[in-house]
Each structure stands twice: as structure tokens, then as C-alpha cells.
Structure 1
């Protein structure tokens, strides 16, 4: 059974669907840092996505195995907040 994504802002919805993510099951295969890095996915959308995943018994994937290489290379910067 597939669980649709929660209602988020239009930019967040577009960002996720542009990546082929339409369900919580699909979302759970991606690391949180990668999802947060998508243009249009802000803090409010991330909160909604985290809650929806948790309520459905899912979580974000660990590691960088599903990340595009250019995003995977930037992950330490995204996680620490050091953007220098």
C-alpha cells in the first residue's frame, strides 16, 4: 500500500514530484539532507515530512547511497551548517 505525501507548500510538492517522489515509501529511500537540499523544500515542509514519515512507521534513509554525486559531496556542509 502506498501512502501519499502530506500536503506541503506548492514549491515543496513540485520539488519532490520532479524527483519522482509521490509517496512516503519513496521518500523514505532518500536521506534527509538530500531532501532538505531540494530547492523549494524549506523547514516547514521538512517538519511535515518528518512527522508524516514517523506516523507511518518510516524514516529517512541513512547515508548517501541514493544521492546524486554532486549532492553527496555537499552533504557534510549541509549537515554541519558550515557554508564557507
Structure 2
């Protein structure tokens, strides 16, 4: 699945088929998102992070959390939640 960006965030295939959402893409997107949020709310802004029940979600959430924190954001990890 090609990458899709919409109101629910970034979507793409990680496992099976042609991967569109690679770890590198996830890291770059998270850094850009943190930069945008902090540009509006200031450094150290809080960003909520949730994941769904797919097999790839914990790994993807770990990557995104690390990128957000490295960018200076405060991450509120909601864990498994409705996304």
C-alpha cells in the first residue's frame, strides 16, 4: 500500500506486500511532526502516542516515541487504544 496521509495520521503497509511505511519513513515523519507541533506550542510540548493491535504496532510505536523524544517533545504513551 502506498503511503496515505489523512486526518487519522500516516498509513501504509509494514508487513506483507510492498512496504510503504518503513522504519526510516516513520522516523522522518515523527521528527517532522514534532518540529511542527513544537513550532506552534513550544519545545517540550506534549504529544499523545497511541497504537492499535497489529503485530507491527509496538515496534512502530517504539520508533516513533524515540524520534519524538529525541526532538524534544514530551510523549504521553497511551499504549493500546482506539486510533
Identify whether the pair has TM-score above 0.5, normalized to the shorter chain: no
TM-score by length of 2: 0.36
Q: Which structure is higher in strand share? A: 2
Q: Could you say which structure has the greater relative contact order, defined with CA pairs below 8 angstroms and 6 or more residues apart? A: 1
Q: Which structure is higher in helix share? A: 1
TM-score by length of 1: 0.36
